[in-house]
Amino acid sequence: MGTENALYTILVEKIKQEALVLPTLPEIALKVREAADDPDINLNSMSDIIGHDAALSMGMLKVANSAILGRSVKVETVNQAVTRIGLRQIKSIATAMALEQVFVSENEIVTMYLKKSWSKTVDVSSVAIALMTFYLQENKRTSLTLDTLTLAALVHNIGILPILTEAENHPDVFANPTFLQQAIVKLSSDIGAEVTQAWGFSEEFTELVKNWSNLTVLPNEVHYLDFIRAGAIFHNVFKNESTKEVLLKSYVNKGIIPDVTFMDSPEFLELVTNVKAMFS
């Protein structure tokens, strides 16, 4: 356990000294977020900013034409996509679409871990987004929004990035993935909260990242945590069967799902597939 303890000790010490290297948001995401906070911004100006990034432009078109927006007429330009999504939602959606750019490394082994982590994040997020899409159809007056959930779901496991960056300096860790996984389980939520703070996200996002895997935090009302955890249940992130059963029953009681088998239904699985296509 020496290797894992060494990595764990280094990470904890760097957190205490505020010396941990945190990832930075992609430049395009920063530009969009800054523009979205400008009260004088208009759709054309926002379209120009997004249009300078090919990957983000493509992502916006996918979102605008996705099943979650439920539009049959296809949009073909960034301006049309921004108009359909709307300025209020564009800040969260653009940030979410740019996040994949953060999951990169020049180290081959780290790259493999990052790809697996991003893939799992997309899997969990796709279920969460699909589930909220169904929920919003029946609960139009809720204060919960799809754009907030989309961003929250895609950053819920962001704490893994600084851990992998630090692990890159300790190659022995990768010889036994169990050591690395234990460090991730113990620290990724707290580190993830630090990342969201460094990125200037609201306290709401910080709390979501910090608490999504802490099952002692159980909101009484329908909460973004419920949808992210449902995605984690679907993809077996939570291993304990009784825990999954209790959570699913609570989602039935809250009216998030009609019954505990809902996420196995063809209708739901089809929407999950459609949502996942936005990120591929």
Report pLDDT digits (tens) over 203-220: 999 999 999 999 999 999
**pTM for this prediction:** 0.91
Model pLDDT, residue 105: 87
174-183: long-range contacts at Cβ-Cβ below 8 A with a sequence spacing of 24 or more? Answer: 174/109, 175/3, 176/3, 176/4, 178/4, 179/1, 179/3, 179/4, 179/7, 180/4, 180/7, 180/113, 182/4, 182/8, 183/4, 183/7, 183/8, 183/11
Dist. CA 238–CA 248, nearest whole Å: 12
Dist. CA 104–CA 117, nearest whole Å: 11
Share of the chain above pLDDT 90, in %: 69
Model pLDDT, residue 1: 45
Unique residue bearing structure tokens 């304990």: 240
The arithmetic mean of pLDDT across residues 248-266, rounded, is: 96
- From residue 181, give the alpha-carbon distance in Å to each of 8, 170, 186: 11, 14, 9
CA dihedral 134, 135, 137, 138 (to 10 degrees): 130
- Packing angle between helix 108-138 and helix 160-167, nearest 10 degrees? 170
pLDDT digits over 135-189, tens only? 999 999 999 999 999 999 999 999 999 999 888 888 777 777 877 888 888 889 9
- Alpha helices (H) in 142-240, listed in sequence order: 146-155, 160-167, 172-175, 177-198, 203-211, 224-234
- The answer to whether the beta carbons of residues 262 and 233 sit under 8 Å apart is no
The two three-digit tokens of residue 272, written as one number? 């999950």
**Three-state secondary structure string covering 124-150:** HHHHHHHHHHHHHHHCCCCCCCHHHHH
CATH number of 2-24+103-279: 1.10.3210.10
Q: How confident is the model at residue 108 (pLDDT cuts 50, 70, 90)?
A: confident
Sorted by where each begins, the domain ranges of the chain are 2-24+103-279
CA angle 96, 101, 103 (to 5 degrees): 100
- The answer to whether the beta carbons of residues 49 and 32 sit under 8 Å apart is yes
Residue 3 pLDDT > 70: no
Model pLDDT, residue 172: 79
Run of H or E including 14 = helix 2-16
Residue 2 pLDDT > 60: no
Dist. CA 85–CA 65, nearest whole Å: 10
Q: What is the residue-averaged pLDDT of the chain? A: 90
Question: Considering all CA atoms of the chain, what is the largest pairwise distance in Å, rounded to the nearest integer?
Answer: 59
* The one-letter amino acid at 212: W
The arithmetic mean of pLDDT across residues 124-132, rounded, is: 97
Burial class (CB in 10 A: 0-12, 13-18, 19+), 153: buried
Looking at 177-186, 211-220, 228-237, 269-278, which range is the least confident one?
177-186
